Structure formats: structure tokens, C-alpha cells
Amino acid sequence: MQRVCFLLKVRPDRIDEYRERHEQVWPEMLAALSGAGWRNYSLFLHEDGLLVGYLETEDFAASQAAMAATEVNARWQAHMADFFEELDGRGPDEAMRPLTEVFHLA
């Protein structure tokens, strides 16, 4: 199992709305994530907008590709893109770059 951690930056003026949107993630998006192999997926948000994501999957590249192939992911990413800083023209899902794990206590 691959553990993946990534960072994104939520615009400070959109933090409250970002939290609200995640209280009601679309059921079809949740099903697509599960179907694409995303397990134990969590998002943590700091008061300054720093977003830390964590998930477990067999193959992150394959899981990302499976999500990219879904219609619901395209809708969700378009729905959420304005919440983030520094996407450089990419969708939030494309801007996720895994951090390098340097320690893990099993």
C-alpha cells in the first residue's frame, strides 16, 4: 500500500466556504474515489489555508488516472478550482504532488 501526502493552498478568503463544500461531498464523487482505489483519504486545513491531503492506494498514478477518466471528477475539479492559489492553470487534482516520505512508524 502506498501512503500519499500532498499540499495545496486554499485562498484565505474562501476557507469557510471550502469547509462547507466538504461537509456535503457529492455521493457520486465519493463513489468514484472509492472505485479508483483511494483509501483512508483525509484533508486537513490550517487557518492560513494550507491544505494537507493524505490517502492510501495501491498505485497513486493509476488511482489519479482512474479519477481523471470520470465525468464526476471533471465537474468536481471545475467546481473547486477557484478555491485554490497557485494552480498555474491546472486543476486541483493535477496540482497535487506527493511529498517524499522520510519516516513511518508502523
Domain boundaries, the chain: 2-95
18, 16, 5, 27: which is closest to 82 by C-alpha?
18
Q: Are the beta carbons of 12 and 49 closer than 8 angstroms?
A: yes
Q: Active site includes 104? A: no
What is 2-95's CATH number, 3.30.1360.30, 3.30.2290.10, 3.30.70.100, 3.40.50.1980? 3.30.70.100
Predicted local confidence at residue 84, as pLDDT: 93
The catalytic residue among 22, 46, 79, 104 is 22
| Residue 30 pLDDT | 97
Phi, psi of 38 (to 5 degrees): -80, 120
What pLDDT sits at residue 87? 82
Question: Is the Cβ–Cβ distance between 28 and 74 less than 8 Å?
Answer: no
Report pLDDT digits (tens) over 47-104: 999 999 999 999 999 999 999 999 999 999 999 999 999 888 888 888 888 999 999 9
Asked if 66 and 37 touch (Cβ cutoff 8 Å), the reply is yes
